[in-house]
Structure 1
């Protein structure tokens, strides 16, 4: 799956630049792991629109809730495919590919990079899903969000050998499709009345739950995964 012409062409082209600038490599390495670059800008945009929604006819809050649900479903499916699908090593751990040297960066410390399936990218599923939700609210800002995800989230992960181009494309399609599906009127009807009732009866608690959910989503469920990882070790 990984050894197609697109993946190899992008991998070899980007490999020309890994020894050019240590500063450039360090910047991309920081961007790939920084929640300040990845999740928090989207969290800010979502809560900006959440509090801006004073006209119920705009349905902005409905779009936000549907987008969060779509992102959760997309990431869940990406993780299921990661765990149950055919194993595909990340480019940085693929011995069939030339191993690029990244000047200025230490060797990867996490063994997860070597044992996790690379296909599809859950980062792409999540953040292209977010960009799709923003696009449904504001076309202009949505286009900017797509370019932001591409330049500051997707391309650094390809450059650093964390994903193949097809991993990113598959994740992006997964995120966009499920956010669009969850924003269809037929799907919204399944939970809209319940959410509206809860929001009216318990507005503070409802918004607190949305805030916590949004935070965990933007952090790629890091704390949740860490909790279950520790729990599985304890149970074992």
Structure 2
């Protein structure tokens, strides 16, 4: 982290580009969902098991993010690197001061970004090893590394999130787990293909945007809920 920090005061445009990449759905969720939908339509034959794996992957990634957020909210507080006064202070030229950023008071461990996108990469890896391997690399370079560079996460946050995401999708794609819902899911798709896929699109959109609208709704409900 100290090695990366030596570059934070060199170039404002570079910092702004990294900051944009770290927060842009165009570089995060949209490519993953585009690839999932590509495989969904390419391998429509039930014998390929691709659609079965995609549904299991989406279930696994949602469970993984839920576990990560629970750990964030209920685990011991760990300030993010850019908010940790025990670490050397680094200047990010061209970016807002850390104290003005919403994540300044958020718990750091584990990384929900790493959890979500490593879990999606794992599901795609089970469909296509070449594509999955490239997505693992993409997740590391364009999602994980920028968040470490910007002081949003420690490497251990990324590692823990990645392991959590991988484990949840590995479990959700086991045959014994798929049997719990697979038959009913296939029946719904067969009887109501348009409605099923429209609902699935909405779900994948929310996953692609890190459940932004859902979180906003829940925050609004909590804000006005009587205590």
- TM-score per shorter chain, which class? over 0.9
Q: Deviations over 1:108-158 (max 9, x none)?
A: 475531221100000000000010011001010111000000000000000
The residue correspondences of 1:53-72 to structure 2 (distance < 5 A) are 53-72=43-62
Is 2:187 the counterpart of 1:190? no
Separation in 1, partners of 2:215, 2:89 = 30
Secondary structure class of the residue paired with 2:224: helix
Query: Which residue of 175, 192, 198 corresponds with 1:202?
Result: 192
Matched with 2:38 is: 48
Is 2:215 the counterpart of 1:225? yes
Is 2:66 the counterpart of 1:73? no
CA 1:202/1:47 → structure 2, altered by over 3 Å: closer, same or farther?
same
Query: Which residue of 24, 30, 33 corresponds with 2:20?
Result: 30
Query: Which residue of 123, 131, 136 corresponds with 2:113?
Result: 123
TM-score using structure 1 length = 0.93
Is 2:26 the counterpart of 1:18? no
Separation in 1, partners of 2:163, 2:100 = 28
Q: Deviations over 1:47-76 (max 9, x none)?
A: 111111132211100000000000000000
Separation in 2, partners of 1:110, 1:202 = 48
Deviates more, 1:60-69 or 1:196-205: 196-205
Gaps of 5+ in 2: none
Secondary structure class of the residue paired with 1:172: helix
Separation in 2, partners of 1:111, 1:37 = 21
Query: Which residue of 71, 95, 99 corresponds with 2:89?
Result: 99
- Deviation of residue 19 (structure 1)? 1.1
Secondary structure class of the residue paired with 2:57: helix
TM-score using structure 2 length = 0.97
Secondary structure class of the residue paired with 1:206: helix
The alignment of Structure 1 onto Structure 2 pairs a total of residues equal to 226
- Deviation of residue 87 (structure 1)? 0.6
Secondary structure class of the residue paired with 2:6: helix
Secondary structure class of the residue paired with 1:17: coil
Is 2:75 the counterpart of 1:85? yes
Separation in 2, partners of 1:84, 1:105 = 30
Matched with 2:142 is: 152
Following superposition, which runs of at least 4 residues in structure 1 exceed 6 angstroms of deviation?
Answer: none
- Deviation of residue 91 (structure 1)? 0.4
Gaps of 5+ in 1: 1-10
